[in-house]
A = this chain, B = another copy of it.
Amino acid sequence: MTSSDSAQAAPQKAPAKDPWDLPDVSGLVVGVLGGTGPQGKGLAYRLAKAGQKVIIGSRAADRARTAAEELGHGVEGADNAECARRSDVVIVAVPWEGHGDTLAALREDLAGKLVVDCVNPLGFDKKGAYALKPEEGSAAEQAAALLPGSRVTAAFHHLSAVLLQDEAIEEIDTDVMVLGEERADVETVQALAGRIPGMRGVFAGRLRNAHQVESLVANLISVNRRYKAHAGLRVTDV
């Protein structure tokens, strides 16, 4: 039984601000940790193509620079620490296996930054993908625990790396669920998502509700297999 309507009766606490009144983020530098992987590289490509200054980070600066040159659109490459230090917003697109160690090592470099975690903790076996439950509740909550000096949000979980990287595709038909504790940070990430043609950033709750958003990718993998698709999600009535 869905209870999604019952909350409507609760006292309205949100300010009367228009939820689509989002900030201008065109001047922000966006770093992408794990920017040489398919998801990170795809996001870097889309954001740079939309006019954003993007720096991709990797453990090896050389690999990051090579990937940056392939992408063009002014993308730069650096090691993860430099990528973090030079960026205003840092997207975390590393594999789940290295998530905790990578972030712990970058605590100082990420201090004061807006961090956007887009990692999906999943396991795989012969029946397909399934959700892994991080001790902290979710990858995003692990990031928040490891990065007390950063503002952590979660977003960009449900995007197809294939579509992101396909230069023949101009628009990507999907919403981006953005989670976070501070409205201003969430709105910055919403605005970033909205710079990519076809995408829209939609607020979708606090970090304590990140696990189901992260692990829904296991379901999208099932969808992709059954329908031979690159599934995304749209939030309706919004």
Q: Which residues of A are at the interface with B, using a C-beta cutoff of 8 A?
A: 1-5, 7-8, 10, 12-14, 19, 34, 37-40, 93-96, 118-120, 122, 124, 127-131, 133, 156-163, 173-174, 177, 179, 202-206, 208-209, 211-213, 215-227, 229-238
Q: Give Cα A233 to B4, complex, Å.
A: 13
Closest to A236 in B: B232
A232 x B224 contact (CB < 8 A): no
Would A128 and B206 be within 8 Å (CB), given that A233-B234, A236-B174 are in contact?
Answer: yes
For A162, give its contact among B5, B13, B19, B215 (CB under 8 Å).
B5
B212 x A5 contact (CB < 8 A): no
A209 x B204 contact (CB < 8 A): no
Q: Give Cα A3 to B122, complex, Å.
A: 8
A209 x B218 contact (CB < 8 A): yes
Chain B residue numbers with a CB within 8 Å of A161 are 1-2, 4-5
Closest to A20 in B: B227
Closest to A204 in B: B219
B226 x A203 contact (CB < 8 A): yes
Chain B residue numbers with a CB within 8 Å of A216 are 212-213, 216
For A160, give its contact among B2, B19, B232 (CB under 8 Å).
B2
A2 x B217 contact (CB < 8 A): yes
A129 x B38 contact (CB < 8 A): no
For A130, give its contact among B13, B96, B208 (CB under 8 Å).
B208
Chain B residue numbers with a CB within 8 Å of A128 are 7, 205-206
Q: How far is the CB of A56 from chain B (nearest CB, A)?
A: 13
Closest to A37 in B: B1
Would A223 and B238 be within 8 Å (CB), given that A96-B1, A158-B2, A217-B2 are in contact?
Answer: yes
- Find the residue from A119, A221, A230 having the highest chain B CB count within 10 A: A221
Chain B residue numbers with a CB within 8 Å of A14 are 225-226
Q: Give Cα A94 to B34, complex, Å.
A: 44
Chain B residue numbers with a CB within 8 Å of A233 are 233-236
A224 x B4 contact (CB < 8 A): yes
